[in-house]
Amino acid sequence: MLNQGSSLRPFQLRILFPHLLTLPKTDSRRSRAPKAITQSKAIDLELYTYFALLLRDFIHPWYKLLTTDEDLNAEIIEILTLIVQKLEKRLCEEVDWTELILLDLPKLLSIHYYDFRQAKRRLYMDHGSGSSSLVDLFHGMQPHFALQPVENREKEYLAALVESLLKILLQPKDYKSECVRHLVREILSNLVLSNIIEVLADPYTIHMIICKLLGSYETTLDELEASARFQETYFSALTNGQSPPKLKEGLKNTQFMSSNDVKTAAAAAAAAAAVAKKEQEAESLTKQMQRLQEERRKKEGKLGEDILEEELPQQGPQEPRKRFSFAYITLQVLLAPFRTFWMYIMATMTQSQEHYHRVNQHKKRTRQMRLVEPIMEFVFIACQVEERPILQWAWQMMAMFFWPLVRVFGGGLLIDKFLEQTVLHVLSEDHIVFYLRLGSDLLWPDGVFIQRADPPTPLQREQMRERAERLLTIAIPANLGSILFETKDLNELQNHVHDILEPVQNKQINKHLLYVLVDLILTKVLPELLVNS
């Protein structure tokens, strides 16, 4: 993690505080840390990167044509800082993240998976569906105001949502100013939320996130692919420089290709074959992906020739984030009662009512029961356990006889505490810094806003999907995979992983999930929205 005393990077100084660059390098004001946004300087450093990128790409292009005055920069930074600080207070003190992550989110995903598969079944029925596409049928099962078939309805929804947020988060004098309110609203709705939704709803982005999160398995996957543990697909045969079979046979044998993508796949395959013939040396799938990414970076670099190299946001040296450790989480569970007891003693001895109230409130917020059940329900639906009768029978027997005994003898309480500590682990400071960096990498790859870069080709999308599926396949423990899917063969396991990821392979349907998730989070963070509505 970054040093707590780290100052702003040159890129951030140039965009956010250009007046500091006029000072001598020996001046202490130049190296002094800026105003704190949150309680963590490492998180502040990432937030200032977001502020600088927003100003550089969406404010400076038109504002610098009008004037060289820097007052607008300071005003926008001050407003964004105020919004983040108010959100931080609510996120840290009022939101029960245990309930949100372990109870609400699995239930939401279960509904999404169930409705998607129901819509897919009904799509091929001769009666009743009344829809010509899977998206329309799914929208009928999960209607959302933002995705109604009305022009600009999505923009209207985001604008109304941000307007309600600003009414709560802005200072009254700023909210009453139409100029300030409209400017901040357009930045947050059209530039921030809209682009975040567009990027996260793209299956290519989802696959990329999976690959980044499971990067520690890359070496293992390369070894398995080199040893032919994973069979070659039509696309991987092309990218490895091999002669593909006849087009018809290739399309029939192509794994994981839907009928709607056959034409696109054929065109991408033909283009890839022409490139593969020109290659003198065969490349592995991993090397091919790296080469395609390098070509994309070069194209993006040409678009940003007018941007000085030192203006690009450079990531400082960073230590790897804490890996999930079963032993570490278990130790935290065992030490939690002693830690709470010690805090009560200190609160009593120091007669700190505020400290006692904070401890009591935290205990009250996190006192949730049966945290594992929504997760198991989602696993049941996602893994399609109902399609395997023997496994379904064993699952029901455990739910009726074994699991109640575990809870009676205290095992359920230990599991709940373990899950609570896991939530605290994934929301720790170094993980939040990692999430912020991941977001900036997705929205501004190589310092260039994603909407200005070339979209990934069908071949790149197919390769990223296959890579993500294989990483997930080897990330699943062998014993768990053999129990859930009744096989140990890696290719069959990859087929099952493909089925699990199928409900998130449609961008428009993914938007349904994201908008419902945004609504859920905002009702937890800002319950005033429900009262006002």
> What does the pLDDT read at residue 191?
78
Q: Residue 516: its pLDDT value, please?
A: 93
pLDDT one-digit tens code per residue, 359-377 = 455 444 455 567 888 999 9
What's the sign of the alpha-carbon dihedral 217, 2, 422, 378? negative
Residue 369's pLDDT is what? 66
User: Which residue type sits at 517?
Assistant: L
CA 515 vs CA 78, 150, 508, 509: distances in Å:
28, 16, 11, 10
What is the share, in percent, of the chain residues with pLDDT greater than 90? 20
CB burial of 325-337 (b: ≥16 within 10 Å; e: otherwise) equals eeeebeebbeeee
pLDDT for the residue 243: 40
Counting as low any pLDDT under 50, the low residues of the chain are 1-5, 234-263, 275, 277-286, 297, 300-318, 359, 362-365
The reported pLDDT for the residue numbered 333 is: 62
User: Could you tell me if 296 and 453 are in contact, meaning their C-beta atoms sit under 8 angstroms apart?
Assistant: yes
pLDDT at 54: 87
Q: Which residues of 185-213 are buried (b: 16+ CB within 10 A; e: fewer)?
A: bebbbebbbeeebbbbbbbbbbbbbbbee
Q: Which regions of 413-510 does DSSP assign to beta strands (E)?
A: none
